[in-house]
Amino acid sequence: MAWFPFFMELSGREGLIVGGGTVALRKIEKLLPFGPELRVVAQEIHPRIREIPGLRLEQRPFADEDIHEHLAFVIAATDDAEQNHSIAALCRERRIPVNVVDDPQACTFLFPALVQKGRLTVGISTAGASPTAAIRLKEQIMELLPEEYGGILDFLEEKRPEVKRTVPEKNHAWVMKRLCDECLKQGGPLTEEACHRILEGAMAPKEAQQEE
């Protein structure tokens, strides 16, 4: 099965974690930077999960009614494979995305290995074939990215309105590429002087493209 890498808005949306152990903890830690409202249902809850602010913790057995139409996603992270499969079946019936830990065949979405630098998010998946390989690739990508990559993206976002305002439309893509290349070359955002030189040179560059 091929897995398409959707990027989904999670801020303020409700997610359910069934299970309260170390695996559930790792999933929660991956999700938290993206702002979902997480509810944890488990008979035993790891002390580190209890320390995380903003979680809704319900220490009790899972009930079918915990899966409702307003959920954005569900993670089945219990140590009971049969219960995990039952949760997955309920989610499929109700068309709710579900991730079952250590069982890609039961999932309707997978957790990628994530590379994050400010606004940059890179998701790496092997479709469950080898999480170790995905993590190794993540490490290699991290080594390639400048420490200031997040700042570079902020800089480029800030400059886009100026480029659109001051540069002929046919040259927008060329200018943004030059700005990006120069930022990567020096490992951070450009000075105003360096940026101005690129904008000045954008009046009629031969390599200018028609689209951004």
Q: Considering the chain, what percentage of its residues have pLDDT values greater than 90?
A: 71
Sequence ranges of the chain with CATH classification 3.30.160: 112-145
Place of tokens 């080898």: 130
What CATH architecture does domain 112-145 belong to?
2-Layer Sandwich (3.30)
Please list the ranges in the chain whose pLDDT falls under 70: 1, 203-212
DSSP 190: P
* pTM of the shown model: 0.79
What backbone phi and psi angles, to 5 degrees, belong to 21? -95, -160
Q: What is the pLDDT of residue 211?
A: 44
Give the Cβ contact number of residue 94 at 10 Å. 13
Q: What is the pLDDT of residue 100?
A: 96
Alpha helix segments (H runs only) across the chain:
22-31, 47-50, 81-93, 131-144, 149-166, 172-186, 192-200
Q: What is the pLDDT of residue 210?
A: 45
Q: Which fold has domain 14-111?
A: Rossmann fold (3.40.50)
In three-state form (DSSP H/G/I as H, E/B as E, the rest C), the secondary structure along 96-141 is: CCEEECCCHHHCCCCCCEEEEECCEEEEECCCCCCHHHHHHHHHHH
Sequence ranges of the chain with CATH classification 3.40.50.720: 14-111
Q: What is the pLDDT of residue 204?
A: 52
**Please, what is the average pLDDT of the chain?**
91
What residues have CB less than 8 Å from 71, skipping those under 6 apart? Answer: 14, 15, 16, 96
Distance (Å, rounded) from C-alpha 73 to C-alpha 16?
7
Q: Which two tokens stand for residue 190?
A: 């450009």
